[in-house]
Amino acid sequence: MAGDSAAPTVVAVAPEAVREEAASLFGRPEAAAASATWDIDVASYASHERVQYWMDFFSGRARRHFEIYLARLGRYDSMIRTRLATAGLPQDMIYLAMIESGMNQNARSRAGAVGLWQFIPGTARRYGLVVDAWVDERRDPYRATDAAIRFLTELNSRFGSLYLAAAAYNSGPGKIQRGLQRYDFGALNGDDRYFALSEGTFLRRETRDYVPKLIAAALLAKEPERWGFTGIQPWAPLRYDSVRVSFAVGLDVLGRLAGTTRDAMEEMNPYLYRAVTPPDRTVWLRVPMGAADSVAARLAALPPGERITVLVHYVSRGETLSRIARRYGVSVTDITSANRGVQARRLRSGQRLVIPTSLGGRGVGAAERRDGGTVGRRSSRVTRMVHIVRQGETLSEIAEQFGVSVIALVRENRLTSSRIRVGQGLRIPN
């Protein structure tokens, strides 16, 4: 990955140079023909004011972000282009995902849109994605790409223009349809109609800039070196095998069975947003290449009681179930399901609660007991030991106390430094 090596030397290109280069390339048809080729129409609109603005922005103020987008692109480029081509759509529509999410499968907008292609729940379900209590396929780049292609194909067929289809993808097809009915664009072609519609205030600013951003991203990403993006190290495509799982098991447990990390399992299976396979259906789970047979065999031999990792929490005076749930990144229902007979209004100080941390996805918090000390461990495979930092303690002292290395503590808790704070929960490696 890009972050694993020394930072490349960046050759910045001034905005004026970007504009001059684009003008020289696309000011004349013969110049455009001599440059890289695109299967969406960038040549006709490269000199448009808003396209130029976004080229300046991506190559200037947002350069560092765009470099990250270019690196991530390597992970999905072949997969998305192959699917687009199979569906008969231009392969350069891949850059729609770049402006939607920055090629981040875990991206989430303020409006609740999620994933590489930024689907809201209703649209996701309409185009075949599962979004429920256990699975969110908007986060799965493969399945979400198929859904996005179905959506874009429908929009392109409806409006007869890729750029109107892209605008409808952003604003909703009803908005674009009303705009086309309200204004008379005469003999303008579909793509020109988008730019004519975006000149006024009928469309939101986000939609007026949507296609210019798409074109700018296509121009820069197709020839990054031309615009000063040098030394980009693309992420390698994911390679994996699959196994069938028909019961609930945590991704941390599966990572151990597969000889890899929980993080790696989450990256391969981001749609399992609780970091556990659903208990009510069979799913295909991605595992490292070559590990399918061994994982299946080990999983079959794993006792049911060892499929989910848990923490033990002792209730402090005044704590509520909702507060505890927020602390661990789980729901109240998760806790009550794991603790038969527990009632939100009848918690008592010192009460023992089992916290199913795998159900908490990526937001596991700290466990504590009444004296602010250490959570006990019945079995290293069933519960984890968690230490609550006291005043004056250091990371090295805690490591020595539990017989582990400082490096192991840092790795287990994903710390970025050796600094710790009073009250912080530290998971102790098994």
Are 249 and 307 spatial neighbours (Cβ–Cβ below 8 Å)?
yes
- What is d(CA 115, CA 125) in angstroms, rounded to the nearest whole number? 14
pLDDT in tens, 151-190: 999 999 999 999 999 999 999 999 999 999 999 888 898 8
Q: What residues in the chain have per-residue pLDDT under 50?
A: 1-13, 15, 18, 27-34, 360-383
Q: Half-sphere exposure of 63 toward its Cβ, with a 13 Å CA cutoff?
A: 18
- What is d(CA 192, CA 190) in angstroms, rounded to the nearest whole number? 5
Residue 33 has what pLDDT? 37
Question: 153 to each of 104, 120, 175, how far by Cα in Å?
Answer: 23, 18, 18
What sign does the dihedral 296-298-303-304 (CA atoms) show? negative
The angle subtended at Cα 167 by Cα 165 and Cα 173, nearest 5°, is 70
| Residue 352: how many other CB atoms lie within 10 Å | 13
- What is d(CA 296, CA 202) in angstroms, rounded to the nearest whole number? 56
DSSP state of 115: T
Name the residue type at position 7: A
Residue 366 has what pLDDT? 34
- What is d(CA 99, CA 214) in angstroms, rounded to the nearest whole number? 7
Residue 101 has what pLDDT? 97
Residue 16 has what pLDDT? 54
Residue 20 has what pLDDT? 55
Q: Half-sphere exposure of 282 toward its Cβ, with a 13 Å CA cutoff?
A: 3
Q: Please state whether the predicted TM-score (pTM) of the whole model is above 0.85.
A: no
Residue 367 has what pLDDT? 36
Domains of the chain, each with CATH number or no CATH: 2-227 (1.10.530.10), 240-306 (no CATH), 311-428 (3.10.350.10)
Residue 129 has what pLDDT? 97
Name the residue type at position 379: S
- What is d(CA 86, CA 150) in angstroms, rounded to the nearest whole number? 12
